[in-house]
Amino acid sequence: MALTSFPRSLARATGNARAWLRRDPSVIQAERTPFEVIHQQDIVRLRYYPPLPAGQIEVDGEMMDVATTAQPVPLVLVSPLAVNMLIYDLFPERSLVRYLRARGFELYLVDWGRPGRAQDHWTLGTYIGDLLPQMLAKVREHSGSQKLSLHGWSFGGLFSLCYTALSRDPDIVNLALIGAPCDYHANGVLGEQYQRLAAGMQWIQRRTGWRVHQSKPAFWRSPGWANSLLFKLTAPVASARSYAELLTHLGDRDFVSNHATNSAFLDDMVAYPGATVQDILQYLWTDNVLPTGRLPIRGCAARFSDVTANTLLVSGRQDPIVTRACIAPIQTLVSSDDVSLLDVPGGHMGILGGSQAAKTIWPAVADWLSARSGQQSDATQQGVA
């Protein structure tokens, strides 16, 4: 490098580093797809994504036609807890909401918001039995369609499955469950940790009669920074490598922008309410109720066998957070005539919005939904060119 160019390179790297640290909007590419908030209940918001202009959009470097006819059954994205909504619209050329809208789906998204201390009494049952039914009622009112498809990632998949069982809603036509957990004790390395925790919790219960719900919910609140840290610790080497690569590419504005956009999602997770954490500890990690067909709601008589909707399960081959063995029991627990399990490349985040998802996962899920929503996929009109 010539000595005369060094000051310019240093200035460029310094400016990029400052933009990254400040989360400058100029380097954050997420959430560029327009949406409307059509309903709000407490901190929970329901988004609607209007139709895209006619023509084409770019998806992962290739052009894709925007569908000119709407899918008959609206699609509701049910998000998980702890994450912000950037993951659904992470990059303009790698946006799940833009892709699904281009495929012709009338598209809605349930954003659970950012729980504060005022929400520490919210249980899993609050989300499944109270808030989600309200959001779906508003979707039906807005769309004019009683029939709906639900697309749930991670805990959003669990919420979608549990809602369908609890409500016995006959108009939930399709369930696309992306990395949705079921058997926590069969969940690979994490499953072994859950089993050890369960043994300890059960020993305490036998000796003292104490259960986690006998304490105050606020004590169990899991703050957003802790959730971000725990997520990164599931792949510590990859996390460390990404920051090392950032340091060596500070002069590359595009690289810094891509890293800042991913970091805006990973570094800004939100809290779990205390009562929700209590339910997770007791019903999911200790009692492991899901593979028995029960719901993680106290006194609930509903069972997963009450689910008859078409069901697609998506499992990431490199997913350490929700493994295939954790997901697979759903296949036999539901009473659906149409159940499929799709193995795809990627980790827990990657199967929803990773660099390969636009080519290896999104089309397969969209085709599956289209084929079961009264409209077959037209590869020449709706697929990636």
Q: Residue 230: which pLDDT band, with cuts at 50, 70 and 90? A: confident
- pLDDT number for residue 374: 76
Instruction: Tell me the residue length of the chain.
Output: 385
Q: Residue 119: which pLDDT band, with cuts at 50, 70 and 90? A: very high
Which of 358, 346, 271, 275 lies closest to 314, judged by CA? Answer: 346
The residue written with tokens 């390179």 in the block is 9
- pLDDT number for residue 13: 56
Percent of the residues in the chain that have a pLDDT greater than 90, as a whole number: 69
Mean pLDDT rounded to a whole number for the chain: 87
Model pLDDT for residues 308-323, shown as the tens digit of each residue: 999 999 999 999 999 9
> In the predicted model, is pLDDT for residue 265 greater than 80?
no
Question: Do 363 and 223 touch, CB atoms closer than 8 A?
Answer: no
End-to-end CA distance of the chain: give it in Å, rounded. 41
- pLDDT number for residue 361: 95
- pLDDT number for residue 193: 95
The residue written with tokens 């219960």 in the block is 205
Residue 4 is encoded by which pair of tokens?
Answer: 């005369």
> In the predicted model, is pLDDT for residue 376 greater than 60?
no
Q: What is the DSSP string of 294-355?
A: B-SSTT---BGGG--SEEEEEEETT-SSS-HHHHTTHHHHS--S-EEEEEESS-TTHHHHST
> In the predicted model, is pLDDT for residue 12 greater than 90?
no
- pLDDT number for residue 5: 60
- pLDDT number for residue 309: 97
- pLDDT number for residue 259: 56
Residue 191 is encoded by which pair of tokens?
Answer: 């499953």
| Cβ-based neighbours of 207, under 8 Å, separated by 6 or more | none
pTM (two decimals): 0.88
E-strand ranges in the chain read 36-41, 44-49, 56-59, 62-65, 75-78, 107-111, 148-153, 172-178, 310-316, 339-344
Percent of the residues in the chain that have a pLDDT greater than 70, as a whole number: 80
Residue type, 243: Y
Q: Residue 1: which pLDDT band, with cuts at 50, 70 and 90? A: very low
Cα distance between residue 258 and residue 29, in whole Å = 8
- pLDDT number for residue 61: 84
Which residues on neighbouring strands pair with residue 64, listed in sequence order?
A: 57, 384
